[in-house]
Structure 1
Amino acid sequence: MFKRIVLKLSGEALAGTRGFGLDAVKVAETAAEVADVHELGVQIALVVGGGNIFRGVADQAREMDRVSADNMGMLSTIINAIALQDALEQRGVQCRVMTAVFMNQIAEPYIRRRAVRHLEKGRVVIFAAGIGNPFFSTDTAASLRAMEIKADVLLKGTKVEGVYNADPKLVEDAVKYDELTYMDILQQGLKVMDLTAVSLCKDNNLPMIIFNMNQPGNIKRVVMGEKVGSLVTA
């Protein structure tokens, strides 16, 4: 259903049940699912967070300067990106890590035209270090990169089945939305992604699908057009 996608993964998704650090089994499982979708001929770009290692707005960074804390968070995303790259290449999938912070010995600098060329050649591209600036989340980075490379859709893997009107872990009768608009998210204050990312998607008519990343095969189901998760449109 989609030719080119951007998949946003949280750092916590790579921590598995441990909640912190990298879970090698979870990284391998995630890479296997991405490889399955890649075999369909879909051009895949990943944006990975770093919350499993360090989050600039977490309690552990409360006493730190925000810029320093966010810089540490950006470096955490690079660790996760390299781990995913290794797991994908072990499955025979060519992969490139591109960072918004220059570190040429480790990864390529992000250049939009080069990223598009990698995708056209059938390589998976992992965007790391957010957008290279503090005060912007990896959600915003995912929205921005998706628009820059002209992705068909932004996929966001979470721990729940989609977008709810309340936290389903705290409210038993929380209602799941099958479809909604970005304006609904803004007006109702739904905790889907940060407001900057939502506004970017809304202004540029970029559709987004939020789905449960912990359900094996869900990425492939979304790409094949099955109604999984919640569809958000402008």
Structure 2
Amino acid sequence: MLSAPPTDGVAPPRGSGQRLLVVDDDPMLAEMLETTLSLAGYRVTVADRGAEALRACDSIRPDLLVLDVMLPDMDGFAVCQRLFESGARIPVLFLTARDAVEDRVAGLTMGADDYLTKPFSVVELLARVHVLLRRAGMTAEPSPVLRFADLTVDERSMRVRRGDRLVELSPTEYKLLRYLVLNADHVVSKDQIMDHVWQHRFDVGVVEKLVSRLRAKVDATPPALIRTVRGFGYSLCHPGDD
């Protein structure tokens, strides 16, 4: 129902602590949604029943509701209607396996703000959540500076710093580092690096040499941030992580 591939050079929108209520009775999907949205910077509460969702809306006052249509006690349309009748004005993103036009129309005319049909991608989910929060005035303009540990990547000036030290990179090294920072929660393979940096496949030794050059510059000051995950690829790791 939900896929989470590394992003190919475009950073998925991130939250800044907004409160989301996720309502889905599928335990596996609910857990994946909670993990994905939490890693993206949101505070997430999960409910698996419509009645529980209504109580949670009263107690935590979420900034956005991610609401499955098919629930055991009442459907998402009924939850949405009850909320609006009570005077709540919470942006609602419906999740459903239904793809009939009449179902989408029913949700949208009832007051829902958007509709996402399962299966869907992580990037699409995060983008839609971000758009709904932005419409509701709940987001700030994204920073042009990417950060990881004491590493900063300024996307406007294309300057990289490790702490106070300026790191001089070639365009290819910069592109690889930016890709690693954007995917800091993932291990990226050598094939993915080739596809992103060069859009071409060739001997993996070229990737190994590029990573080695980047590591010599970025990790010249300890602790090391670039990790080799043998048999899988590379990732950025926070100091002290195993």
Is TM more than 0.5 here?
Answer: no
Q: What TM-score do you get using the length of structure 2 for normalisation?
A: 0.31
Larger CA Rg, structure 1 vs 2: 2
Q: What TM-score do you get using the length of structure 1 for normalisation?
A: 0.32
